[in-house]
Structure 1
Amino acid sequence: MRTLSKFLVVVFVALMATSVQAQEINFDRNIDNFRYPDKRGVNVFESQKDTTSTFNGVDVRVGGSFALQYQHIENENANLAGYELKEAGSNFNLATANMDLDVALYDGVRMHLRTYLSSRHHNEPYVKGGYFQVDKLDFIKEGFLEDLMQYTTIRIGHMENNYGDAHFRRSDNAQALYNPFVGNLIMDAFTTEVGAEVYYRRDGFIGMLGFTNGKLNQSVEEDETGHTGGASFLAKLGYDKQLNSDLRVRLTGSLYNTGYVPNSYLYAADRAGARYYDVMQAATSTSDDFRASRYNPNLTNKITAVMFNPFVKYRGLEFFGTIEMATGKADSELEDRTANQYAGELIYRFGNDENIYVGGRYNLVDAEDISGEDVSIDRFQLAAGWFMTRNILVKGEYVIQNYNDFGATSILNEGQFDGVMLEAVISF
């Protein structure tokens, strides 16, 4: 995918040069059925379903995001088994960058592609994923099934799968503008698989069904069972309505289920890495555990995950919650295990156009670990942010995370990290 991303950079430059020469640049940069990457995209979940078309020929929107953090975090553990931790000092982390290509291909048809130009786990460009989205079928025949398609969206690609609502608020490498905090959830449900999703939205109700091949890394090679992959099933049902000028409510329930997959990455697919660098890692380690600070229940070959997400916004005050249960196992295990996650965040936005906010989040994971132990992890985050413009956000966070009930032979035994993160984000 790195070769593809380099090729796409050349294509982007050529497209932009052609647009400049033809003086056909769309300066308002609007595309139908699109979630804006700036402040207008905050508290947007599924991209809106436009009823009025603005299509006037193929339109290429090149965008991007940049993020830089200053970290001052300390970590410790019981060190009973000789697991001395790395000392994490105070300094800047690697600056991260995304490039987005969104193309209106036809009336009601668009494409999205995201490339990570720089990320914690890969400092070279590589493609995250993308999709082809259809909101009208006029390319078949003008007005074809228009009564159905005014409520229906079809999305196909190697893409970020729509399991739960938390992934709409998480930081996606450099796209950290939607996230009022610096870190994502402890059990960070996020994966990119090849598949298709069909949405039906009407009068505030949302329904979605999707299928994927259950694989993060694509391959036609057969495993020892003779399979080249498996299948995952996705579903979402919910309600989202602006009840009046002051009050908006949303509640969704989501399902992610596999029969058999060679390796489930639902809680380990983010190759961009966690936001807290070099925490809870062995002093003797010569490599970066880029997923450290997260928890992966390692339900490797079989998983059923359910997530409920309430969201309420009354004027400047908003609440977003996560209740999640994941059950499954690896092939080598005889019995299923369960991991539960709970999170609640309360944000208050104020100032001109709600450009300033303060908030807090509590996050708890309670799980039957693959080691056979019942463990828990809890985290508290306190954050504040300022949208200097709709494309520029600066934010700060105090975080404390505790590891409970991990055994004496674990590096996480009586583990804790805490400190301050500062982050600047540009997204356009």
Structure 2
Amino acid sequence: MKKLIRNSGIALLLLVGVNMNAQKNNRSIDNYREPDKGGINVFEAPKDTISTFENVKVRIGGSSTLQFQAVDHENSGAIELIKIGSNFNLATANLDLDVFLYDGIRMHLRTYLSSRHHPEPYVKGGYFQIDKLEFIKPGFMEDIMKYATIKVGHMENNYGDAHFRRSDNAQAMYNPFVGNLIMDAFTTEVGAEVYYQRDGFLGMVGFTNGKLNQSVDKPDTGGASFLAKLGYDKQLDDDLRLRLTGSIYNTGKVANSYLYSADRAGSRYYLVLEPTTATTAGNFRSGRYDPRLSNQITAIMINPFIKYQGLEFFGTFETSKGKGSAELEKRVAKQYAGELIYRFGNTENFYVGGRYNKVDSEDISGSDVDISRFQLAAGWFMTRNILLKAEYVNQKYDGFNPGSIFNEGKFNGLMAEAVISF
């Protein structure tokens, strides 16, 4: 373990050295979400037809985070909980490669150098993004490609807007809180997405093979997923921005759907409501809820976003319906979340905010369960690349069977997180 931590630290030092040398040049790339403070409240990558391409350009970046956790937990006592105290979690790190390959074409690849589930490096995913078809011939379909974008890869699929604000292992710059949503919709599947953005209107359709773990082994070879998003995003004046989107993710039948359990980087709340036999890596989803709609699922998410000067609201309204392979009847899980953030300072480098998150679900055990979470947070952008944030979290579980570890369960306490991203 010490060797893995040391190797991750060396890799990050090398990345910082590359980053310091690169500051002498312009590191931005066309149609790209910046990994630092400039990427806050950016959703889909911006669409621009102005090109800066001259030659192949490789942008090396990365992220690193470290949390201090002081959280207590308890339940009814039916199952004894592991004893947890106040201390630091294992530092996490990402390595990003973004390559400007040609006019209107770029590649993205993210590797988790260390994460809660995998202390060793592994590839999260990547994609190939096309904003122009100049490689076919100059001016080819330019009237359409002025507004269209094509993404292909084994990539983070664009279901909903909440995944743009979540922490992605070490990339926690965009998340004003420490934890993600209770039902954390996130998956990486092989597929393609086509976007059309014009005058504030956004449309997207996509198809994937519905698989998190790629293989040709039977019976886990068939299946497909359909994605779509429709929305409007407009800066109405200097003070007011409005965005509203609706998304759908549909899988007719697959061997295993991982929409709410695909994030192998792990939850930020380490070992909460876990048994005495738990290990940090083995129970990496602690604090989250997966309705286990593993065979068929139709999920719909609506996200409003309003920003007036320094005050912003982001909401999530989600309903998911489906079943596991052995079930005859479909079950429903619903999620609601609202967060209010106030950013202040000359460059909005400080913020305070709160979030309320609730899940109502027909659990696979047959119970109707409720999970609620309240978070208070504050943050300080020391620079564009360095963020310090603190959070108070209180989460409660209701409706779970007497024999469940979540029966009368709750956890609460303080989290602090330092984030570097470049």
TM-score, normalisation: structure 2: 0.94
- Distance (Å, rounded) in 2 between the aligned partners of 1:28 and 1:425: 23
Secondary structure of 1:354's counterpart equals coil
Is residue 319 from structure 1 mapped to residue 301 from structure 2 by the alignment? no
Percent of aligned pairs with the same amino acid: 71
Aligned partners of 1:63, 1:352: CA distance in 2, in Å?
27
Q: Is the 8 A contact 2:71 2:86 kept in 1?
A: yes
Q: Which of residues 306, 313, 325 is equivalent to 1:331?
A: 325
Name 2:263's counterpart in structure 1: 270
Following superposition of structure 1 onto structure 2, how do residues 28-427 of structure 1 map, counting pairs within 5 Å?
A: 28-79=26-77, 81=78, 83-223=79-219, 228-286=221-279, 288-427=282-421
Partners of 1:59 and 1:41 lie apart in 2 by 20
Distance 1:25 1:94 in 2: 29
Cα offset for 1:424?
0.2
Which runs of 5 or more residues in structure 1 are unaligned? 1-5
Q: CA deviation at 1:88?
A: 1.1
- Structure 2 distance, partners of 1:47, 1:95, is 28
Rounded Cα–Cα distance in structure 1 between residues aligned with 2:328 and 2:386: 50
Contact 1:163–1:234 under 8 Å retained in 2:
yes
Task: Kindly report the root-mean-square deviation, in angstroms, between the aligned alpha carbons of the 2 structures.
Answer: 1.9
Aligned 8 A contact 2:271 2:278 in 1: no
Contact 2:255 2:325 in 1 (8 A): no
Say if 2:271 and 2:279, in contact at 8 Å, map to a contact too.
no
| C-alpha distance after superposition, 1:209-263 (max 9, x if no partner) | 000000000001111xxx6131000000000000000000000000000011110
| 3-state secondary structure, aligned to 2:144 | helix
1:193 & 1:286 partners in 2: Cα distance? 28
One-letter code aligned to 2:308: Y
SS of the aligned residue for 1:318 comes to strand
- Equivalents in 1 of 2:415, 2:23: separation in Å? 38
8 A contact 2:243–2:304 mirrored in 1: yes
CA distance in 2, matches of 1:393, 1:209: 34
The question of whether the paired residues in 2 share the 8 Å contact of 1:26 and 1:59 is answered with no
Q: 1:228 to 1:243 in 2, by over 3 A?
A: same
> Cα deviations across residues 371-403 of structure 1 (Å, max 9, x unaligned)?
000001000000000000000000000000000
Letter of the structure 1 residue corresponding to residue 160 of structure 2: G
Structure 2, unaligned stretches of length 5 or more? 1-6
Aligned pair count reads 409
Q: Which residue does 1:3 correspond to in 2?
A: none
Native 8 Å contact 1:233 1:258 kept in 2? yes
User: Which SS does the other structure have where 2:347 is aligned?
Assistant: helix
Judged with a 3 Å threshold, the aligned counterparts in structure 2 of structure 1 residues 26 and 214 are, in CA distance, closer, same or farther, namely farther
Question: C-alpha displacement at 1:286, in angstroms?
Answer: 5.0
